[in-house]
Amino acid sequence: MTQYFEWDPRLDQKAETFTFSLNDKDYTMQSNAGVFSKDKLDTGTRILLETVLKNEKPCQKVLDMGCGIGPVGVVLASEWDCALTMVDVNQKAIECAKVNMRNIQKEATFLCQDGIKEGMFDCILLNPPIRTGKAVIYRLFDECMAHCSGSLWIVIRKQHGAASAQKYLEQNYAVKRMGKEKGFWVFQIQNR
């Protein structure tokens, strides 16, 4: 069975749209089969966005790591005047993200790849692909921090390992838990 973080060209095209509201703005997203949270804004991403918008000043260079169909990038491009890079391993998700950015008349750099290889960013947001396992997630944390000149923001459900992720991150980075809601923990991580 294909996971949302895997590209499977055999999947049928099942384009659909959904709408969500955040900060008194409505957003319509184009989605498709084989992508993460294809029919709604997932709770973790909503909590991550609300926490970042409440606690982070607008940043110039932003990375949406594991962007999926792009709700994080779409919201931040609407709220901040920033240079946005959106990365995902799933080509179908990237194609949806491109459409969603075009629909709000904003631009971004899109990379279909695993992780981040170059560039420095003031702000990085990540709702980690939990089902890939700790080794992959922790590698993504470290890659993000190697390219972070400001803050990495992550959201993890408590029952999916938020405490162990915090413990891992605290070994090398300054970590603050900035939010806790509906079983999700939001962390702000900075280089020491």
Instruction: Give me the residue spans of the domains in the chain.
Output: 16-191
* Rounded average pLDDT over 88-102: 94
Assess whether pLDDT exceeds 90 at residue 136. yes
Percent of the chain scored above 90 by pLDDT? 82
What's the pLDDT score for residue 3?
43
CATH entry, 16-191, from 3.40.50.720, 3.40.1360.10, 3.40.640.10, 3.40.50.150 = 3.40.50.150
Q: Is pTM, for the whole model, over 0.85?
A: yes
Largest CA distance in the chain: 46
Nearest residue to 57 via CA among 189, 149, 151: 151
Dist CA 12 CA 32 (whole Å): 9
Dist CA 82 CA 61 (whole Å): 6
Per-residue confidence at 15, pLDDT binned at 50, 70, 90?
Answer: confident
